[in-house]
Structure formats: structure tokens, C-alpha cells
């Protein structure tokens, strides 16, 4: 089994379950830039149109996790953990009405992990 690039905390998995039962299948896209940038956005699966430069990094709790190739350049050496905190982000991410916000925590891969890390795939 290769080392996964993304994972999810138990608290975030519980929020995903709640959103999935309310809305249906979900996807995550990591945003960049201003304001709520660098936060994972949770959408209905298929709501966000993935492009030729988006990459698939793996699944978290049954949801595809994607990011743009420009951003991945700076994430390729990091394990990305999707967590959740109380708060009120802006954006169209589905968890915001619940009064919580998904956030990213990161850990730098060790050299051993990097040698066996899951390869990224084109998203579309």
C-alpha cells in the first residue's frame, strides 16, 4: 500500500457523514488565494468543474480530493490532513451553515514516505 497524500480527522469525517446524508455524494477542492484561500472546499460531487490542470490526490472518507497543479507543486512533499474547526468561513463550501469550517493541517513527509507516496492522477 502506498503512503496516502491526504487523510481526514475523525471530527471531519463525522461532518462529511452529516453532509453526505443531507446532500448526497461530495467532493473536495483545495482553494488558493485571498480570504478563505488555502482552505478545502466541500461541494456536491460534480458541482465544481474539474479541469485539465486539476489533480486527484486520493479519497478522504469516500470523497475525491483535488487540487490545481500549480498548488500541488508546493504540496508534493506534504501529507495533507483535513480537519474541522468551529467558525464561519465564507465561500460556497457546504459545511459553513453548520457553524464549522474544514481546514488543512500539514505534515512534511519523511524521505522513506516520499519514496512510496501515492502517485497523483489527472482529475479529468
Kindly state the smallest distance separating residue 59's Cβ from other proteins, in Å. 18
Which is closer to other proteins, CB of 1 or CB of 88?
Answer: 88
- Strand, helix or coil for residue 6: strand
CA distance 93 to 44: 9
CA distance 45 to 36: 21
Which is closer to other proteins, CB of 24 or CB of 87?
Answer: 87
Which is closer to other proteins, CB of 1 or CB of 86?
Answer: 86
Kindly state the smallest distance separating residue 109's Cβ from other proteins, in Å. 11
Strand partners, 80: 6, 106
> Where do contacts with other proteins occur on this chain (CB under 8 A)?
29-39, 41, 43, 47-49, 68, 70-71, 73-75, 78, 85-94, 96-97, 101, 103-108
What DSSP designation does 97 have?
G
Q: Radius of gyration (Cα) for the chain, nearest Å? A: 14
Amino acid at each position: 500500500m502506498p503512503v496516502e497524500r491526504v487523510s481526514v480527522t475523525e471530527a471531519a469525517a463525522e461532518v462529511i457523514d452529516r453532509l453526505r446524508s443531507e446532500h448526497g455524494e461530495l467532493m473536495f477542492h483545495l482553494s488558493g488565494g485571498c480570504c478563505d484561500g488555502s482552505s478545502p472546499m466541500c461541494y456536491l460531487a460534480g458541482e465544481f468543474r474539474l479541469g485539465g490542470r486539476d489533480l486527484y490526490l486520493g479519497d478522504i472518507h469516500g470523497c475525491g480530493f483535488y487540487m490545481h497543479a500549480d498548488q500541488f507543486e508546493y504540496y508534493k512533499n506534504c501529507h495533507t490532513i483535513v480537519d474541522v474547526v468551529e467558525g464561519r468561513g465564507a465561500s460556497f463550501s457546504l459545511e459553513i451553515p453548520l457553524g464549522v469550517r474544514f481546514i488543512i493541517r500539514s505534515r512534511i513527509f519523511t524521505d522513506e514516505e516520499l519514496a512510496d507516496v501515492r502517485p497523483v492522477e489527472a482529475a479529468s
